[in-house]
Amino acid sequence: MKLTIEKNFTTINQSTERIINITYEKEQDSLLELIIKRVLVNKKTADPLDGFIYQKLLKTDQQKIKKKLIQHFPNGIATLKLKSCSDIDYEPLQKLLINENFKEADQLTNQHLCKLVKTKNNIEKKWLYFTDIQFLPTEDLFTLDFLWKIYSRGKFGFSVQKQIWIKSNKNWDILWEKISWTSNGSMKRYPQEFQWTIQAPEGHLPLFNQLRGTQTLSYLFKNITWE
């Protein structure tokens, strides 16, 4: 097995995925011990490798493995990092992402963002404008982004979208095309024209109100200071 305990994984490439899948078929106990050592023993922050292994083991038919997995990680592998300045419970979102219910997770993420803004200005929101971004606590933004990344093999998240935007020379049209938010130059229709599976392009999720212009997303990217 070529997966090391110390290494940090920002994404899961095909080679790593192949190793995990082969090991899953033959040595599920080895995978379980790996994430126990990485996250619990070494007190390492969970990353996409840990999230992917956790998701795989959660589907096992071996009850002994599943029981031990739940004993060590009763609320998901990211439990210790679900921090909020506004006492928001991110466990439901984590469960949706663990099970790859990305459409529901996307809707809940938007609700959380609107709730975070409401706690600051006491105004009900269904979507955010660029003037609202200043009210989003960095701690909560990190938690939302963290959950999306570790349960999507590193493919989804606001920080992932920001990196694609930077690599696109901050050209919004190129970004929309790369993350597949447009079709033939026109914004796709929600929700039927978006992809809600792990096969979606990198950065495709979570969605944001890009139909209202680029200012809001631009301000959000500026608020994301972790890389």
Q: Where are the domains of the chain?
A: 14-80, 101-223
Instruction: Tell me the CA distances in angstroms from 44 to 82, 112, 213, one per residue in order.
Output: 15, 27, 39
| Domain 101-223: CATH superfamily, name plus number | Gun4-like (1.10.10.1770)
Rounded to an integer, what distance in angstroms lies between the CA atom of residue 163 and that of residue 134?
A: 21
What is the predicted pLDDT for the residue at 226?
A: 74
Q: Name, in order, each residue with C-beta under 8 angstroms of 222's C-beta and a sequence gap of 6 or more.
A: 133
Per-residue pLDDT tens digits of the chain, which is 227 residues long: 567 777 889 999 999 999 999 999 999 999 999 999 999 999 889 999 999 999 999 999 999 999 999 999 998 998 666 888 888 999 999 999 999 999 999 999 999 999 999 998 888 888 888 999 999 999 999 999 999 999 999 999 999 999 999 999 999 999 999 999 999 888 899 899 999 999 999 999 999 876 667 899 999 999 898 76
What is the predicted pLDDT for the residue at 127?
A: 87
DSSP state of 214: S
Helix 48-58 / helix 14-26 crossing angle, nearest 10 deg: 30
